[in-house]
Chains A and B, each alone.
Chain A
């Protein structure tokens, strides 16, 4: 669900966050209007608002794990984890994690990819949030949910800065709540 529908309607921070996100047309290929959060990271106030909103939401929910999807989930997850006193667990592309891993495959537009996680990082019953910068089809997040659930962890929510139209109206992903700050920025919003 979008933050504006869930207690943050009219919150000026959401507008600042949205305005700080740059749209890059035709990346990585024609037809895609890429939502670039690097400009959000250049705007210290807007970046801080982003983290603050997530921290305020999850601070009192007994979350002991923040999992972030490589690589842009790494930009957001650790700051949230630190603020709420949770562990940070990186979910990575194959072959990157050095220790023993479990992996889950997920579909791309053409073909498949895999997401990996170290074993022995979550205990059964731990409460987890999964972070990524953006959710489109939800394929990556679904794989992340599967990895966590295979270890007996409870995924409390998936959280993203941006949610593409495919997820609008969807409150759940694989049965798990989805929390999104903003809709995609338009080309003319960024000068």
Chain B
């Protein structure tokens, strides 16, 4: 049997419900860490930018840490298209939450291709041998990146989904706790990894993923997400691990 919840609207592209994620049209300078990625900029180059960029960069330089945005001298032209392809659904899964829906990004072949390309460009020459993706939306972005950079893909899953022997890490929810699991033997000590998810909110899941991988001796080079919700300060939960996002949604 079939349930049709709403009348069919035939349209080539989905219309977006307001508000659209706001793009941060600037670049946050990050305090130097032990990991130097090729797109990391020195403070000097930021002075060449427009006034809004410099103002933001100066403020950001005063902060101890900031997520690195996928921007270059001016915003990468691919970012605007990616951001506008993300649909916001109000009050899902409960009232008050503005849900960032990436399924519309997946319908836009150029935007999806660009999303993967941006991550691949960033990580391809970094000796990354592991792309870990958090269930379930991390499974959509992680494998294409892994394939393109020659890495293995490691799924990190909710309890009881993985069939073999697992290690697990608990993390806090608003009410109660949850667990994230990984197969024993999937990774080896000394491997360099990135962790992928579609979105970082409170950072609880990503922090647990970091702990899980670090417990088995893996070095997490960076966490990478399509979207960040900066007000929830998820990056603060990531410890020393840098965060890279394409779109920041205030």
Contact = CB atoms under 8 A, between A and B. Distances in A.
Contacts of A71: 135-136, 139, 157, 161
Nearest to A77: B140
Interface in B1-33: 1-6, 8-12, 14
Contacts of B154: 38, 41-42
Interface residues of A, number: 52
A87 B3 contact: no
Given A38-B155, A88-B106, A27 B163 contact: yes
Given A24-B164, A51-B147, A103 B9 contact: no
Interface stretch (A11-19, A115-123, A164-172): A115-123
B49 interface: no
Contact of A90 (B1, B103, B147, B155): B103
B147 A38 contact: no
Given A47-B153, A78-B144, A118-B103, A85 B109 contact: yes
A82 interface: yes
Contacts of A183: none
Q: How large is the interface on B (under 10, 10 to 19, 20 to 34, 35 or more residues)?
A: 35 or more
A74 interface: yes
Interface in A11-46: 22, 24, 27-28, 34, 36, 38, 41-44
Contacts of A121: 14, 103, 107
Interface string A119-131: 1110110000000
A28 B163 contact: yes
The A interface, classified by DSSP as helix, strand, loop or mixed, is mixed
B46 interface: no
Contacts of B3: 102-103
B89 A98 contact: yes
Given A42-B152, A78-B106, A151-B8, A99 B112 contact: no
A38 B150 contact: no
A150 interface: yes
B152 A105 contact: no
Contact of A119 (B9, B106, B109): B9
B149 to A, nearest CB: 9
A53 B9 CA distance: 35
B162 A88 contact: no
Nearest to B137: A74
Contact of B144 (A24, A38, A79, A100): A79
B163 A88 contact: no
B113 interface: yes
Interface in B43-98: 87, 89, 92-93
Contact of B107 (A43, A87, A100, A146): A87
Nearest to B129: A44
A150 B143 CA distance: 30
A150 B2 CA distance: 9
B170 interface: no
Contacts of B139: 71-72, 74-75
A89 interface: yes
Q: Which 8 A-B pairs have the closest CB atoms?
A: A24-B163, A74-B139, A27-B163, A98-B89, A98-B92, A100-B6, A41-B153, A88-B106
Given A79-B147, A87-B109, A102-B2, 20 more contacts: A38-B154, A41-B143, A44-B147, A71-B135, A74-B137, A75-B143, A78-B112, A78-B143, A79-B144, A81-B106, A81-B112, A87-B106, A89-B107, A103-B2, A118-B103, A120-B8, A120-B9, A121-B107, A124-B10, A150-B4
